[in-house]
Structure 1
Amino acid sequence: MSFPIEQGLFKYDMTDHYAILGIPINADSRYIRQRYLKIAYILHPDTFKGKTEKEKQLATKILSKLVNPAYEVLSKDRYRDEYKLVLSQMGRNLADELRSITIATDEAQKLLQTSQDRELTYHQLLTPLVSKQYDNLDNVLTTIAQISELNLIYLMLSQGEQVKEKARPKPTPEPKAATRTTSSSTQQAIKKEDHKSAVKTALERAQEDIERNNLSQAIIELRETLKEDPNNSTCHGLLGLAYLKQEQLTMAKIHINKARKVNPQDPIVIKAKLALDKVLPDSDSQKPSDKKQGSGFFGLFGRKK
């Protein structure tokens, strides 16, 4: 990544697109577009109000390397849903670290300590950070880091509650005959094996589709499989490979990094990482997305005269 940020989600090798755009994690597509247009107008070279050439170059770099890639992911429902799925899984995986995590910002500390409406507190803490986010280019990365740490705590708290809810003991049923208990256990074991077999079959089909270059079909198959098994390293690895072939580098990186977190020794994961490194030798870098910046952008704002 061209801009090193080491707080919040960035600390876990995850680019926080929500923090870059300064929007809450539950923002809808309309709000995302409005926020992007506002930031893009501030940073675009034809509308940027900075006085020096150095400032103008920095604004253009922030737009092309951070803001545009973030909007690319969050503006499309399909990509946004997949990205949120990865974030939710990360929140669940990190929930147990809440007591030991080091928090650098006051906003995140306040959210962690709140005992009232967490959703309301999250938005109240986010608002002042967002309002000044792109006022001073020298402070942009610091503000993004602050927002990302707030997002991290929000995810850890939210997903941790869901994990606890699922882990709560259910009412103990009345004792049943031994034969029925055995039968129930057997049925559960069969269902579990059937589930594993179904996932394995789906992954094999998707792998064949990727080899045949039926990428859209493979992506559909893999996304459905992730709904059933969101922590499957092979599935994330294959999805990363499919996105690489489609030249969707941002989505490829998200899934390949997730696969490596789950199981870096998975052969598919190793293959996917090697493929990603060939395209992005610096796997922390963002894909440039300013190829169309000159024409399409000013269909929205108009060109300076």
Structure 2
Amino acid sequence: MSIKIERGLFKFDSIDYHAVLCVPVDADVKEIRKRYLNIARRLHPDSCASASAEEKQLAGELLSKLVNPAYEKLSQERTRTEYMVVLSQIGKRLVQESASVDLSSDPARQLAGSPNVEQLYRTMILKIAETQYDSLTKAVQIIGYVSELNLVYLMRTAGKKFDKAPPTPASIKVTSKNSENTDTTILQTAANKEDTSISNYLRRAQELMKKNQFAQARVELQDAIKLAPNNSRCHSLIGVVYLKQNQTTMAKVHFDRALQLDPNDQMASEGKRKIEQVMGQKSGTAVKTAPPTQASKQPEKSGGGLFGGLFGGKKK
């Protein structure tokens, strides 16, 4: 098998190890190791027992020629640091030279014009990783498309401003008969599922909060914030979790962030009011608060506790 990739960072005489493993370029060692083990299990001969001889050979070559070298490079602190310096220089050089970069996939063009590049980039990478090596014959092509995303991300973080925003995913028509368009669909699906992914995190967190399982709820919300750092709902909910755990400082940080993103966030406003009451009681001083809203005039329901009425009804 001749492995040749001519997209993204590969076009600039650089092997994109992050694209091979499908991890963000700022992934830490723990995330890299977890992803490597997942891929290695997929490509291991025992996992390919029912595959054809050709597929077994392909899996072995992907593992030995791409995946293992990528993990070796990124798992060691010294080599990973050196490699990250090279990637940063490539991004800065392309920006300084005002180089015209030819992007062959619509998702890469979408990322180039997105105002929320951090959020969209990470969401795309994580979704592609779920199926990257499901089809071994398309794995190399998908690595190329991921490398385009990495290239765009490096240029955007280095200050590159692309001239024109691409069409939204809803306006992109893809014909499944074309193999490259089929691969592009994988990337487009990742972008389209962003909102659904965040909603699932929030739903699970609220279910855990109703059961007073605040530690687990906090984990769900921390993952949601990684994907959507500018989502006010994520910040207001995790603020409630911290408040329930008597961590008022962290609660205030997230309530403040939620109100910065959405000044009309009722949950964050109520949370700050509760914190002010608590701090006023501790200091022995009266705290002036805004007149209570219609919602706050209603008595709290038993069993709901603080913010009980904001989570959508009684417990079942």
Shift of 1:61: 0.5
Aligned residues: 161
CA contact (8 A) 1:5 1:145 kept: yes
Counterpart position of 2:122: 123
Q: Looking at CA atoms only, which structure, 1 or 2, has the larger radius of gyration?
A: 2
Shift of 1:157: 1.1
Moved over 6 A (4+): none
Task: State yes or no: 1:29 paired with 2:25.
Answer: no
Counterpart position of 1:156: 155
- Identity %, equivalent residues: 46
For 1:150, give the aligned amino acid. Answer: L
Shift of 1:160: 2.7
How many angstroms apart in 2 are the aligned matches of 1:4 and 1:50?
27
Q: Give the TM-score normalised by structure 2.
A: 0.49
CA contact (8 A) 1:74 1:80 kept: yes
Counterpart position of 2:171: none
Shift of 1:150: 0.2
Shift of 1:71: 0.3
Counterpart position of 1:142: 141
Counterpart position of 1:79: 79
Aligned to 2:23, the other structure's residue is in SS state coil
Counterpart position of 2:13: 13
How many angstroms apart in 1 are the aligned matches of 2:13 and 2:99?
21
CA contact (8 A) 1:91 1:160 kept: no
Q: Give the TM-score normalised by structure 1.
A: 0.50
Tell me the alpha carbon deviations over residues 19-64 of structure 1, each in whole angstroms, 9 at most, x when there is no partner.
0001000101001000000000110113325521111011001000
Shift of 1:98: 6.0
Aligned alpha-carbon RMSD (Å): 1.9
TM-aligned CA distance change 1:89 to 1:99, over 3 Å: closer
CA contact (8 A) 1:42 1:49 kept: no
Higher relative contact order (CA 8 A, sep 6+): 1
For 1:133, give the aligned amino acid. Answer: Q
CA contact (8 A) 1:2 1:65 kept: no
Counterpart position of 1:39: 39
Counterpart position of 1:65: 65
Q: Which structure 2 segments of 5+ residues have no match?
A: 161-316
How many angstroms apart in 2 are the aligned matches of 1:119 and 1:98?
22
After superposition, where does 1:1-305 map in structure 2 within 5 Å? 2-96=2-96, 100-115=100-115, 117-160=116-159
How many angstroms apart in 2 are the aligned matches of 1:133 and 1:94?
28
TM-aligned CA distance change 1:87 to 1:50, over 3 Å: farther
Q: Which structure 1 segments of 5+ residues have no match?
A: 162-305
Tell me the alpha carbon deviations over residues 117-136 of structure 1, each in whole angstroms, 9 at most, x when there is no partner.
32111112222322110000
How many angstroms apart in 1 are the aligned matches of 2:78 and 2:65?
22
Tell me the alpha carbon deviations over residues 134-176 of structure 1, each in whole angstroms, 9 at most, x when there is no partner.
0000110111001000000100111236xxxxxxxxxxxxxxx
Shift of 1:78: 1.1
Aligned to 2:100, the other structure's residue is in SS state coil
TM-aligned CA distance change 1:12 to 1:99, over 3 Å: closer
How many angstroms apart in 1 are the aligned matches of 2:74 and 2:2?
20
How many angstroms apart in 2 are the aligned matches of 1:138 and 1:50?
16
CA contact (8 A) 1:7 1:145 kept: yes
Aligned to 2:134, the other structure's residue is in SS state coil
